[in-house]
Amino acid sequence: MDSVTHIVLGACIGEVIAGKELGRKAMLWGALAQSFPDIDVVAELWLDTPSNLLAHRGFTHSILSCLLFTPFFALLAKRIHKNRNVHLRTWMWLFGIELFCHIFLDSQNAYGTGLFEPFSHARISFNTMFVADPLFTAVALLASVVLLIFRSKKDRRRLLWATAGIATSALYLFVCAINKMIVTNEVNTMLKQQQVSYNKSFVTPTPLNNLLWYIVANNDSGSYIGYRSVFDDEKELPLTYFERNENLLNNVHDNESLQKLKRFSQGYYIAQQWGDTVVFSDLRFGQMVGWDNPNEKFVFHYFLKQPEGNELVIQRGRFAKWDNDALYTLWSRMLGH
């Protein structure tokens, strides 16, 4: 999830666990603890882009990392606040819950999380939420944190506000999971009825919502791409097929980077010729405005012959071509129109 989400959720959890003992400092510790796993972003200072893609959400987002850092940070915080009557058990609960919540939330979106590093390099992706969802963050958590910041630390309703923010966000995540189940079942049925041949597939939300879902179905030579809203009532799923074009990758000189990109993409990729360069696209992150134009380019595109231009390989296409018309069509498709 995005950094703001981790900060505000961490602050609410900190208030619930240690607010009585630490006051507003509990929110600060919670926000810091919830943000800690993303310290791996510093690796981009010395790693090339393909290596950094695999390093992010790797070991620092693993279960083992949480188990190791929880007692370390608990003992450190206990020492810093030695004059406070905060039991070590409270600190253990605070850091343990914060760290595990972080990696659990990050596993909900398409990037994937190395929960079992270093024993397994498999990336876990439940694909229930987009990486930034304003309803999950702003409506519940951010509102609660604003109230907690400006209210007295002696206000008896602080625990209620923090709990309400956490509970509302948990309910929203549950709704996302239900919507995913509904859409996934519909998609699987339609793919079977349309006799689409594929060996693996996934369904994940489109940007900033959980109503319109992006579908990828892979076979040995390419991928079918489609979109489905929870409000759609059509019995057929419109699909666009993209050839994998593996032959374009045969003459790529930097084979090590290519293999890292393939591993990162979990097999959901295509190659295309753009002018004089070959482009590697990871399909999991969607198309630029694919709900409007099913033949659009993909958000994640890596220039194999121009590696120096790939620093923002995921973010650079995230909101490309977004304008008022694109927002209108997104809203319309979310509502099943």
- Alpha-carbon dihedral angle through residues 120, 123, 125, 130, given to the nearest 10 degrees: 150
- Whether residue 34 is contained in a domain is answered as yes
* Residues contacting residue 10 through CB under 8 Å, at least 6 positions apart: 27, 30, 31, 32, 33, 34, 35, 98, 101, 102
Same-domain check for residues 71 and 206? no
pLDDT value for 187: 97
Rg of the chain in Å (alpha carbons): 22
pLDDT value for 139: 67
Per-residue pLDDT tens listing for the chain (337 residues): 888 899 999 999 999 999 989 988 999 999 999 999 999 999 888 888 889 999 999 999 999 999 999 999 999 999 999 888 889 999 999 999 999 999 999 999 999 999 999 999 999 999 999 998 888 887 667 778 777 777 777 777 888 888 988 998 999 999 999 999 999 999 999 999 999 999 999 999 999 999 999 999 999 999 999 999 999 999 999 999 999 999 999 888 778 889 999 999 999 999 999 888 899 999 999 999 999 999 999 999 898 876 666 766 676 777 888 889 989 999 999 999 8
State pTM to two decimals: 0.92
> 3-class DSSP state for residue 286?
strand
Same-domain check for residues 26 and 169? yes
Same-domain check for residues 206 and 144? no
Distance CA 35, CA 55 (A): 16
Same-domain check for residues 289 and 233? yes
Same-domain check for residues 214 and 267? yes
Same-domain check for residues 148 and 58? yes
Same-domain check for residues 29 and 109? yes
- Whether residue 98 is contained in a domain is answered as yes
What DSSP character marks residue 200? Answer: E
Tally the domains of the chain.
Answer: 2
Phi, psi of 269 (to 5 degrees): -145, 160
Same-domain check for residues 213 and 260? yes
Tokens of 292: 């409007």
Distance CA 283, CA 267 (A): 9
- Whether residue 182 is contained in a domain is answered as no
Same-domain check for residues 73 and 44? yes
CB atoms within 10 A of CB 172: 19
pLDDT value for 247: 93
Range of the domain at 225: 194-334
CB atoms within 10 A of CB 267: 13
Distance CA 182, CA 180 (A): 5
Does residue 307 have a cis peptide bond before it, meaning omega lies within 30 degrees of 0? no
Tokens of 112: 């994937």
Write the burial class of residue 284 (CB in 10 Å: 0-12 exposed, 13-18 middle, 19+ buried): buried
pLDDT value for 45: 83
pLDDT value for 80: 93
Which of 204, 200, 202 lies closest to 177 in space, CA to CA? 204
Same-domain check for residues 126 and 220? no
Q: Are 138 and 101 in contact (CB under 8 A)?
A: no
Same-domain check for residues 171 and 208? no
Domain closes at, from 123, 142, 175: 175
Using the Cα atoms of residue 103, residue 43, residue 316 and residue 222 in order, give the sign of their dihedral.
negative
Tokens of 145: 């944190």
Phi, psi of 128 (to 5 degrees): -100, -20
Domain closes at, from 113, 141, 175: 175
Same-domain check for residues 159 and 215? no
Q: Are 73 and 88 in contact (CB under 8 A)?
A: no
pLDDT value for 201: 96
